[in-house]
Amino acid sequence: MSYIIDIMKGTIEPSADRISLERYVQESSFVTRYLSRVVKDKALVVYQVLFHLSWFETGKGEIVVPWARVGSFIRSDQGNIIDDSTTVKRRLSNLFEYKCIAVNQQRGSANEISVHLPSDIPACRDLIDREEREARIEPQEKDARDYYSDPERRLMVLARDHHACVYCTAPLSEENFVLDHLLPVARGGTNRKHNLVAACEVCNRRRSDSDPIHFLRENYRQQLLSQDEFLQQKQYIEVLLGESVG
């Protein structure tokens, strides 16, 4: 049985000096999500084998493995198993180059190898950091800015809404458009992009504080919108409302 399987089954207690199940699952996902962008296909496959032999089987990043065993996972272009250590090492140059593994010492035909976790591999770590930082910052940053008071950002909302009133599709120009708060300011609505839509003055005045979808339906009943337009605009407003909540 392997260390990870034993931990999953609860037949052994997690050991402090070995990987936790949660970390193992997370690091496995890093292999496919990030490391695959750092090292090439063949090297990646070998890394996956070494990752499995070490972290999955023993829970630790150190393994003693004959090169022939590593080589048996890499075929030459002719389909032969590679069993000489020079060729294996050459094929693995990517893994050494990016510090994915290190050979600690040679023991006869076997090597003691350190298999680094993806989050400990510098090039991979950079990718993880960048994406996690972006995932954290972007939604807040996108929402935090004031699109109502800033003249240039007002025009960005107008452009996003294709220079047409979202409630009646009347064409709008920079001179006659107004910005309408989906959730009224009086009820806690913000000046963030997702709470604002371009509208004509008439719709803005008529809607007042009523529910935007309700108001849109009213326009449809008054035949200011075709059925297709109504459904399209309804979906559009619902997406914006969904993003405002998030």
Give the nearest distance from C-beta 165 to Zn ion in angstroms: 3
Which C-beta is closer to Zn ion: that of 27 or that of 218? Answer: 218
Give the nearest distance from C-beta 170 to Zn ion in angstroms: 5
Which C-beta is closer to Zn ion: that of 86 or that of 173? Answer: 173
Which C-beta is closer to Zn ion: that of 44 or that of 200? Answer: 200
Give the nearest distance from C-beta 232 to Zn ion in angstroms: 15
Which C-beta is closer to Zn ion: that of 105 or that of 227? Answer: 227
SS3 of the chain: the string is: CCHHHHHHHCCCCCCCCCCCHHHHHHHHHHHHHCHHHCCCHHHHHHHHHHHHHHHHCCCCCEEEEEHHHHHCCCECCCCCECCCHHHHHHHCHHHHHCCCEEEEEEECCEEEEEECCHHHCHHHHHHHHHHHHHHHHHHHHHHHCCCCCCHHHHHHHHHHCCCECCCCCCECCCCCCEEEECCCHHHCCCCCHHHEEEECHHHHHHHCCCCHHHHHHHHHHCCCCCHHHHHHHHHHHHHHHHHHHC
Residues that bind Zn ion (CB under 5 A): 165, 167-168, 170, 200, 203
Which C-beta is closer to Zn ion: that of 46 or that of 203? Answer: 203
Give the nearest distance from C-beta 204 to Zn ion in angstroms: 8
Which C-beta is closer to Zn ion: that of 116 or that of 207? Answer: 207
Give the nearest distance from C-beta 33 to Zn ion in angstroms: 45
Give the nearest distance from C-beta 246 to Zn ion in angstroms: 27
| Residue 27, CA distances (Å) to 34, 70, 173, 198, 237 in order | 10, 21, 52, 45, 39
